[in-house]
C-alpha cells in the first residue's frame, strides 16, 4: 500500500470514528472536524513510517494512530526469515515429543474447536524511542486456547519446555557451519499453560493475514512480540532447554544488576513486557489541546497514568474505557491553555502493585536496544 492510499483510508476511518466517538462521548483518538495534529518538534523531518512491503519490517507512525484496534494492514511487522507461503489445505500443526498422544491438526480441526476472542496488543522487544515506538499494534484475535490442545495431547511428567516452530527457515552460520534453522521460541511448562495463550487463526474478524503468520500463530498475551510465533507448524514438548537464536542470542538483553548483593552483567531472554507508557499524539481543536498515548505491560492492572508538562506536577490522565487486560491501554490528558513556545511532555504509568515506569536515569545500565521502556520526553511547539 502506498502512503497516499493510507492517508485517504485514514481520513475515511477518521470521519467514521468521529461519528461513533461523538455518540459515546469518548473522543480518542480520531481527528474530528476542525481538529489538527500538533507536530512534535522531537521527530526529525526525515523520520518516516515504514510502509508494508513483502519481507520487510513495517512500523507505524505513532502520531497517526487513530483507532483503538489497529487495522491488519497497519499493524507492525517483524520477521527474521522472510514471509513463507503456506497453503491452508495442506498445512498441518504437529504436536510432538513428551506427550501421551502426538497429534497432527488441520486448520479445519482447529477452527471447529471451541474458540475464544481476545484483544491483545504487543510490541517488538526491539521497539523503542528511536522509532517513536512504532513497532506496535493492538488487535482482536480469535483462536483456540493453547492449554486445550496441550491437555488433549497430555504433557508427560518430566517435561520442561515447549518449543514452537515456524515454517520460516533460513541458513544460519553457527560455529563456522551453515545449517538450516526454523524460527522458534520456547516457553516453560507453567508459562505455556497460562489460560490466555492462544493459537490464533483470525485477526480483527479476518482469516489471519499472510504477513501476520497465516494460517495460525501463537499469541502469548503480556509478552513481547517475539514470543508470538507466526506460521506455526510444530509444538514440541521436551525435557531440556531450547537454545535457538531467538531464545539464546537475539532478543537477549544485557544489563547490569544486583545479583544477591553482587553487581553483575546479566543476560535475559526478553519475556514479559516491561511497564511502559508513551505519548504519541497531541491534537488541538478550537484552542483546546489533547495529549494522547499508550501503555503496554504484562497485563497487571494499572493504578494510574500521569502526564507532566514542563516542570509542572504529575497530573492524572483518563483511561480509554475500551482498554482490557492484554490490549494496549490508551489514555488522554486535557491540556488547558498551554502558553506559546516549546513544551516538554512526559508520561508515566503505575500499576496496582505500585511499580512506577522508570525514568531514563533509573534504568539499569544496558547494552543494545532490547527492552526500551523508560519514560519518554516529547516536545511540541505551541
Ligand atoms: N515464524 C516467525 N514468527 C515470528 C517472527 C519470525 O521472524 N518468524 N518474528 C517475531 C517477532 S520478533 C515479532 S516482534 C512478532 C511480530 O509479529 P507481527 O509481524 O504480526 O507484528 O512476530 C514474532 N513471530
Ligand atoms: Mo520482535
Report pLDDT for 185. 98
Residue 28 has pLDDT above 80, yes or no: no
State mean pLDDT over 214-225. Answer: 98
Residue 21 has pLDDT above 60, yes or no: no
> Looking at ligand 1, which residue's alpha carbon is closest to its atom 5?
79
* DSSP structural state of residue 193: T
- Taking the centre of ligand 2 as the mean of its atom positions, its distance from the CA of residue 11, in whole angstroms, is 29
81 lines ligand 1 (CB under 6 A): yes
155 lines ligand 1 (CB under 6 A): no
The secondary structure element, H or E, covering residue 247 is helix 245-248
The answer to whether 36 touches 285, Cβ cutoff 8 Å, is: yes
Report pLDDT for 15. 36
What is the rounded average pLDDT for all residues in the chain?
92
225 lines ligand 1 (CB under 6 A): yes
168 lines ligand 1 (CB under 6 A): yes
State mean pLDDT over 166-181. Answer: 96
State mean pLDDT over 342-354. Answer: 98
- Per the model's pLDDT, the better-predicted residue between 26 and 254 turns out to be 254
The answer to whether 146 touches 353, Cβ cutoff 8 Å, is: no
Single pTM value for the model: 0.92
- Taking the centre of ligand 1 as the mean of its atom positions, its distance from the CA of residue 24, in whole angstroms, is 35
The answer to whether 150 touches 166, Cβ cutoff 8 Å, is: no
% of the chain with per-residue pLDDT over 90: 86
370 lines ligand 1 (CB under 6 A): no
Task: State the distance between the two ends of the chain, measured CA to CA, in whole angstroms.
Answer: 33
Report pLDDT for 30. 55
% of the chain with per-residue pLDDT over 70: 92
Residue 248 has pLDDT above 80, yes or no: yes
The answer to whether 333 touches 307, Cβ cutoff 8 Å, is: yes
Residue 105 has pLDDT above 50, yes or no: yes
Q: Measured in whole angstroms, how far is the alpha carbon of residue 152 from the centre of its chain?
A: 29
Q: Residue 301 has which C-alpha cell?
A: 492492572
Over residues 34-84, the pLDDT tens digits come to 889 999 999 988 888 777 888 889 999 999 898 999 999 999 999 999 999
- Taking the centre of ligand 1 as the mean of its atom positions, its distance from the CA of residue 12, in whole angstroms, is 29
Task: Tell me how far apart the alpha carbons of residues 273 and 268 are, in angstroms, rounded to a whole number.
Answer: 13
Where does residue 260 rank: exposed (0-12), middle (13-18), buried (19+ CB within 10 A)? exposed
Residue 331 has pLDDT above 80, yes or no: yes
> Looking at ligand 1, which residue's alpha carbon is closest to its atom 10?
226
Q: Which residue has the cell 546479566?
A: 266
214 lines ligand 1 (CB under 6 A): no
Residue 32 has pLDDT above 80, yes or no: no
The answer to whether 360 touches 129, Cβ cutoff 8 Å, is: no
124 lines ligand 1 (CB under 6 A): yes
Ligand (nearest to CA of 370): 2
Contacts of 295 (CB under 8 A, 6+ apart): 275, 276, 277, 302, 305, 328, 329, 330, 331, 349
Residue 97 has pLDDT above 60, yes or no: yes
Ligand 1 atom at shortest distance from the alpha carbon of 231: 1
Report pLDDT for 45. 83
Report pLDDT for 49. 78
Report pLDDT for 18. 37
Max Cα distance, the chain (Å): 69
Query: Peptide bond preceding 31: is omega within 30 degrees of 0, i.e. cis?
Result: no
State mean pLDDT over 189-216. Answer: 98
- pLDDT category at 24 given cuts 50, 70, 90 is very low
Over residues 113-149, the pLDDT tens digits come to 999 999 999 999 999 999 999 999 999 999 999 999 9
Report pLDDT for 47. 85
Task: Tell me how far apart the alpha carbons of residues 134 and 326 are, in angstroms, rounded to a whole number.
Answer: 18
Over residues 279-321, the pLDDT tens digits come to 999 999 999 999 999 999 999 999 999 999 999 999 999 999 9
- Taking the centre of ligand 2 as the mean of its atom positions, its distance from the CA of residue 185, in whole angstroms, is 12
Q: How far is CA 133 from CA 21, 126, 232, 238, 273, in A?
A: 25, 9, 26, 36, 13
Q: Which of 21-35, 44-58, 152-166 has the lowest mean pLDDT?
A: 21-35
- Taking the centre of ligand 2 as the mean of its atom positions, its distance from the CA of residue 224, in whole angstroms, is 7
Q: Measured in whole angstroms, how far is the alpha carbon of residue 7 from the centre of its chain?
A: 23
Ligand 2 is an ion; its neighbours by CB within 5 Å are 78, 124, 225-226
Q: How far is CA 261 from CA 269, 366, 372, in A?
A: 22, 18, 25
The secondary structure of the chain in percent helix, strand, coil, rounded to multiples of 5, reads 15, 40, 45
Amino acid at each position: 500500500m502506498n502512503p497516499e492510499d493510507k492517508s485517504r483510508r485514514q481520513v475515511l476511518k477518521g470521519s467514521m470514528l468521529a461519528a461513533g466517538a461523538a455518540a459515546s462521548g469518548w473522543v480518542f483518538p480520531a481527528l474530528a472536524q476542525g481538529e489538527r495534529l500538533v507536530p512534535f518538534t522531537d521527530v526529525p523531518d526525515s523520520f518516516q513510517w515504514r510502509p508494508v512491503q513483502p519481507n520487510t519490517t513495517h512500523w507505524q507512525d505513532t502520531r497517526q494512530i487513530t483507532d483503538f484496534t489497529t487495522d491488519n494492514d497497519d499493524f507492525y511487522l517483524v520477521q527474521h526469515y522472510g514471509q513463507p507461503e503456506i497453503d491452508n489445505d495442506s498445512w498441518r500443526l504437529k504436536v510432538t515429543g513428551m506427550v501421551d498422544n502426538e497429534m497432527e491438526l488441520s486448520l479445519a480441526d482447529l477452527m471447529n474447536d471451541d474458540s475464544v476472542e481476545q484483544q491483545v496488543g504487543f510490541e517488538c522487544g526491539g521497539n523503542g524511542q528511536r522509532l517513536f515506538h512504532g513497532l506496535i499494534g493492538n488487535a482482536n484475535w480469535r483462536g483456540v486456547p493453547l492449554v486445550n490442545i496441550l491437555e488433549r495431547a497430555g504433557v508427560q511428567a518430566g517435561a520442561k519446555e515447549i518449543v514452537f516452530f515456524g515454517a520460516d527457515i533460513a541458513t544460519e552460520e553457527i560455529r563456522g557451519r551453515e545449517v538450516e534453522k526454523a524460527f522458534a521460541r520456547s516457553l516453560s511448562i507453567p508459562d505455556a499453560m497460562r489460560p490466555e495463550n492462544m493459537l490464533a487463526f483470525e485477526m480483527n474478524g479476518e482469516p489471519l493475514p499472510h504477513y501476520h503468520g497465516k494460517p495460525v500463530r501463537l499469541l502469548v498475551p503480556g509478552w513481547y512480540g517475539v514470543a508470538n510465533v507466526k506460521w506455526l507448524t510444530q509444538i514440541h514438548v521436551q525435557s531440556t532447554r531450547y537454545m535457538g537464536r531467538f531464545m539464546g542470542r537475539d532478543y537477549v538483553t544485557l544489563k547490569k544488576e544486583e545479583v544477591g548483593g553482587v553487581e553483575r552483567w546479566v543476560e535475559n531472554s526478553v519475556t514479559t513486557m516491561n511497564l511502559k507508557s508513551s505519548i504519541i499524539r497531541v491534537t488541538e481543536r478550537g484552542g483546546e489541546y489533547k495529549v494522547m498515548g499508550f501503555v503496554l505491560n504484562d497485563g497487571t492492572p494499572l493504578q494510574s497514568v500521569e502526564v507532566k508538562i514542563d516542570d509542572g506536577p504529575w497530573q492524572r490522565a483518563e483511561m480509554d474505557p475500551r482498554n482490557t487486560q492484554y490490549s494496549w491501554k490508551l489514555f488522554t490528558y486535557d491540556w488547558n491553555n498551554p502558553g506559546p513556545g516549546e513544551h516538554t511532555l512526559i508520561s508515566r504509568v503505575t500499576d496496582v502493585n505500585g511499580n512506577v515506569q522508570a525514568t531514563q536515569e533509573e534504568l539499569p545500565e544496558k547494552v543494545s536496544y532490547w527492552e526500551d521502556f523508560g519514560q519518554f520526553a516529547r516536545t511540541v511547539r505551541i
